[in-house]
Structure 1
Amino acid sequence: MDPRSEVLLRQADLFQRPVLLAGLPADDLLGALPQASGWTWHAGDQAAADSRFPGRSHFGTTPPATPFGAAVLFLPKSRELADYLLAALAARLPGGDLFVVGEKRGGIERAAKQLAPYGKPRKLDNARHCQLWQVTVEQAPAEPDLLRLAQRYRLELADGPLDVVSLPGVFSHGRLDRGTALLLQHLEDLPRGHILDFGCGAGVLGAVLKRRYPDSRLTLLDVDAFAAASSRLTLEANGLEAEVITATGIRGAPGELAAIVSNPPFHQGVHTHYGATEELLRQAREHLSPGGEMRLVANSFLRYPPLIEYHLGPCQTLAEGDGFRIYRARRS
């Protein structure tokens, strides 16, 4: 059981009613709280909930339409995302109870300040290196407009400007990260055909690829609903069309790909997590056509070439700079 869920269950009497668990982990919490429902924006957590508690979890960037009398937010790493989620929940709970639970290293100690606009916050519990806070919503806000919270910026590229739209919680929110900046300089000579942008984030790579390879089919994949929504907005802002999907990892990707291009994720919440990338390296061969190529950027200290060569084929370092390396390998 996730330690945040354990803290909730120490106060289980508070949650024996219709309560929405926003950002809930993939554990047994729904089983322990029979009147609760879930809301998640993580495709893997949604798949886990669907398999164990069918029909009890909602996936997306907005709360479910079904009514709820109280809500618990599992505090996300991003403060901008937390602010949006709290406002979205508080708007549905005038006079109701809003709870926040999180790890100390995840920023839960700022919860009192974040809850203060809605009422008088109070700490209910402090255990398992986590805290649980509660506020009765006395000042319910208007429902927040997620699009108005987007950050927009323009990249001046060799083939023209690219407009990027980034929603709260998306990787490198509102700016271009160094790894992607390096990879953008090394996208030439990709095989033509179906190209996958794995871990698409705000859709920078996918949009650039679609513009440079207009005759290729482009699919953008991410585990996060906010990232998928951002990618769709970035594509639309540049007059481009491509498929955007959410899936837990490379296993959810199409097959017979000509190329996989990625700045792969390495964080899950406040934790460093390389599982999705390592699975990509192990499984890429199954999704690439013969002669298909994988091209990715990674921190220089990560020992990915031996893993790439074991599962796919000879690995070439195309470039190195600013603490990152660009790797290329082709399926034989």
Structure 2
Amino acid sequence: MDPRSEVLLRQAELFQGSLLLAGLPADDLLGKLPAAGGWCWHAGDQAALDARFGGRSHFGVEAPAHGFDAAVLFLPKSRDLANYLLNALASRLAGRELYLVGEKRGGIEGAAKQLHAFGKPRKLDSARHCQLWQVTVEHAPEARPLESLAEYFQLPLVDGALQIVTLPGVFSHGRLDRGTALLLEHLDHLPVGKVLDFGCGAGVLGATLKRRYPQSQVTMLDVDAFAVASSRLTLAANGLDAEVICGDGIDAAPRGLDVILSNPPFHTGVHTNYQASETLLKKSADHLQKGGELRLVANSFLRYQPLIEGALGNCQVRAEGQGFKIYQATRG
């Protein structure tokens, strides 16, 4: 059981009615709170929740349409995303209870200050290195459309500027990260055909590829619903067409690919997690056709080269700089 869920269950008498658990972990919490429902935006967690509690967890970037009498937000890593989620929940809870739970090292004490906008918050519990806060929503805000919180930046390319649209919670919100910037300098001589942008985020790589190789069939994949929404906005802003999939890791990707391109993720919330990236490398041969190429950027300290060599039988460092390396390998 997630420690945040354990803290909630220490106060279980508060959570017996119609309750929305926003950003809930994929544990047994719904089993302990039979009247509760979930709101999830992580495809892997949603799949696990659906398998155990079919129909009880809503998936997407907007709160479920059905009513609820109280809500708990599991604090996300991103402060911008927390702002959006708190606003979305509080706008539906005038005169009712909104709870916030999170890990101390995840910044729960600072985040709890955001509850002052809605009423007088109070700390209900502190245990398992987590805190639980509650506020009665006396000042219900107007719900803010998610797209109104989007940030935009221009990506100068040799074939014209690309507009990137990022939403709260998406990797490198509002700016180009250094790893992706390095990879953008090394997109030449890629095979044309079926291309996957794995961990697409705001769609920087996928949109750039579609612009540069318009005859390629580009698929963009991310586990996070907010990233998928961002990628779709980026494509629309540039008049580009590509398939965008929300799925949990490389198993959700098509096969028979000519290219896998990625700046693979290695964080989940406040914790470091290399599983999705390492699984991508180990299973890359299953998704690439013969002669297909894997090209990715990663922090120099990550030992990805042996994993790539183990999967594809070859790997070279194409470039490096600013603490990153670009790896290139071909399926024989």
**TM-score (norm. length: structure 1):** 0.99
AA matched with 1:281: L
Distance, in Å, in 2 between the alignment partners of 1:251 and 1:221 is 11
Other-structure match for 2:78: 78
How much has 1:16 moved relative to structure 2? Answer: 0.5
How much has 1:112 moved relative to structure 2? Answer: 2.9
How much has 1:218 moved relative to structure 2? Answer: 0.4
How much has 1:143 moved relative to structure 2? Answer: 1.0
Distance, in Å, in 2 between the alignment partners of 1:155 and 1:133 is 41
Other-structure match for 1:301: 301
Distance, in Å, in 2 between the alignment partners of 1:117 and 1:109 is 15
Q: 1:51-101 deviations in whole A, cap 9, x for unaligned?
A: 000000011000000110000000001000000000000001111100000
Gaps of 5+ in 1: none
Q: Residues 23 and 41 of structure 1 are in contact (CA less than 8 Å); yes or no, is this contact kept in structure 2?
A: yes
1:288 and 2:288 matched: yes
Question: SS at 1:259's partner residue?
Answer: strand
Distance, in Å, in 1 between the alignment partners of 2:239 and 2:10 is 51
Other-structure match for 1:240: 240
Distance, in Å, in 2 between the alignment partners of 1:201 and 1:79 is 17
How much has 1:313 moved relative to structure 2? Answer: 2.1
Q: Residues 191 and 259 of structure 1 are in contact (CA less than 8 Å); yes or no, is this contact kept in structure 2?
A: yes
Distance, in Å, in 2 between the alignment partners of 1:291 and 1:96 is 59
AA matched with 1:200: C
Q: 1:259-287 deviations in whole A, cap 9, x for unaligned?
A: 10000001000011111000000111101
1:178 and 2:181 matched: no
Q: Residues 111 and 133 of structure 1 are in contact (CA less than 8 Å); yes or no, is this contact kept in structure 2?
A: no
AA matched with 2:14: L
Other-structure match for 1:330: 330
Distance, in Å, in 2 between the alignment partners of 1:212 and 1:295 is 16
Distance, in Å, in 2 between the alignment partners of 1:212 and 1:86 is 39
How much has 1:113 moved relative to structure 2? Answer: 1.2
Aligned positions of 1:11-90 closer than 5 A? 11-90=11-90
AA matched with 2:323: G
Distance, in Å, in 2 between the alignment partners of 1:10 and 1:312 is 49
Other-structure match for 2:127: 127
Distance, in Å, in 1 between the alignment partners of 2:308 and 2:154 is 34
Root-mean-square deviation (CA, aligned residues, Å) is 0.6
Question: SS at 2:180's partner residue?
Answer: helix
How much has 1:111 moved relative to structure 2? Answer: 3.0
Question: SS at 1:34's partner residue?
Answer: coil
Q: Residues 94 and 140 of structure 2 are in contact (CA less than 8 Å); yes or no, is this contact kept in structure 1?
A: yes
Other-structure match for 1:163: 163
Question: SS at 1:157's partner residue?
Answer: coil
AA matched with 1:29: L
1:10 and 2:14 matched: no
Question: SS at 1:191's partner residue?
Answer: coil
Distance, in Å, in 2 between the alignment partners of 1:146 and 1:327 is 36
Distance, in Å, in 1 between the alignment partners of 2:303 and 2:156 is 32
Other-structure match for 1:214: 214
AA matched with 1:69: D
Question: SS at 1:160's partner residue?
Answer: coil
1:118 and 2:118 matched: yes
How much has 1:318 moved relative to structure 2? Answer: 0.6
Q: Residues 228 and 244 of structure 1 are in contact (CA less than 8 Å); yes or no, is this contact kept in structure 2?
A: yes
Q: Residues 100 and 112 of structure 2 are in contact (CA less than 8 Å); yes or no, is this contact kept in structure 1?
A: no
Q: 1:176-210 deviations in whole A, cap 9, x for unaligned?
A: 00000000001111111110000000000000000
AA matched with 1:4: R
Distance, in Å, in 2 between the alignment partners of 1:22 and 1:49 is 13
Gaps of 5+ in 2: none
Distance, in Å, in 2 between the alignment partners of 1:18 and 1:273 is 33
* Aligned residue pairs, count: 332
Other-structure match for 1:225: 225
Other-structure match for 1:102: 102
Q: 1:262-320 deviations in whole A, cap 9, x for unaligned?
A: 00001000011111000000111101111111100000111111110011121011100
Distance, in Å, in 1 between the alignment partners of 2:263 and 2:306 is 18
Other-structure match for 1:316: 316
Distance, in Å, in 2 between the alignment partners of 1:65 and 1:45 is 20
Q: Residues 281 and 307 of structure 2 are in contact (CA less than 8 Å); yes or no, is this contact kept in structure 1?
A: yes
